[in-house]
C-alpha cells in the first residue's frame, strides 16, 4: 500500500511526474492499472492546483528570479518555442516528455491561455501520456519477463 502512495506522490512532484513514476511502479511489480490511476490523479491534482493558483505562483517565480538574477531556464525557453509553434494543444501534448506537465501548464497560462483551455488540454495530455507510459511499460515488461525468464 505504501508503494502505491509513493506512486501518487511521485507523480505529483514536478520533474518526477508520470514519465518516470509509471514505468518505475510497473517495473517494481505493482499493478499497472493502479499505478496508472494513482499517477494520473497525483499529477493532475498538482497541475490543477497550479492552474488555480497561477497568479500567486507567477509572482513568486518572478520575485525569485529577480533575487537570484538568473535568466529564464532552458525548460522555459523550450516551452516558449513549443508555444510559438504549436500553441496550447502542442504545449500540453509535448510538455510531459519535453519540459514537464507543471511547466507546460504554467507557460500556457503565462502566454495567455485561459484556465479552462489549459485545464482541458492538460487533462487530455496527462490522460494520453498515462496510457502511453503505462501500456508501453506493461507490454514491454511482460515481453521481457516472458522471453528472459
pLDDT, tens digit only, all 149 positions of the chain: 899 999 999 999 988 889 999 999 999 999 999 999 999 999 999 999 999 998 888 788 788 878 887 777 787 788 778 888 889 999 999 988 888 999 999 889 988 899 999 999 999 999 999 999 999 998 887 666 666 65
* Domain limits, the chain: 2-148
The pTM of this model reads 0.82
* Cβ–Cβ < 8 Å for 126, 40: yes
Tell me how far apart the alpha carbons of residues 19 and 11 are, in angstroms, rounded to a whole number. Answer: 8
Tell me how far apart the alpha carbons of residues 110 and 2 are, in angstroms, rounded to a whole number. Answer: 36
Place of cell 509553434: 85
- DSSP symbol at 30: -
For residue 92, give the C-alpha cell.
500540453
* Cβ–Cβ < 8 Å for 91, 108: yes
Amino acid at each position: 500500500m505504501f508503494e502505491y502512495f509513493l506512486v501518487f506522490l511521485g507523480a505529483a512532484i514536478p520533474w518526477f511526474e508520470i514519465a518516470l513514476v509509471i514505468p518505475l511502479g510497473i517495473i517494481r511489480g505493482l499493478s499497472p492499472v493502479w499505478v496508472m490511476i494513482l499517477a494520473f490523479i497525483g499529477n493532475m491534482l498538482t497541475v490543477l492546483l497550479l492552474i488555480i493558483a497561477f497568479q500567486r505562483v507567477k509572482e513568486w517565480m518572478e520575485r525569485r528570479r529577480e533575487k537570484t538574477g538568473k535568466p529564464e531556464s532552458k525548460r522555459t525557453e523550450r516551452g516558449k518555442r513549443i508555444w510559438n509553434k504549436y500553441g496550447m494543444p502542442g504545449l500540453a501534448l509535448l510538455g510531459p516528455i519535453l519540459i514537464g506537465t507543471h511547466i507546460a501548464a504554467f507557460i500556457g497560462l503565462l502566454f495567455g491561455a485561459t484556465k479552462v483551455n489549459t485545464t482541458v488540454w492538460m487533462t487530455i495530455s496527462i490522460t494520453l501520456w498515462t496510457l502511453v507510459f503505462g501500456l508501453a511499460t506493461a507490454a514491454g515488461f511482460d515481453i521481457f519477463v516472458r522471453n528472459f525468464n
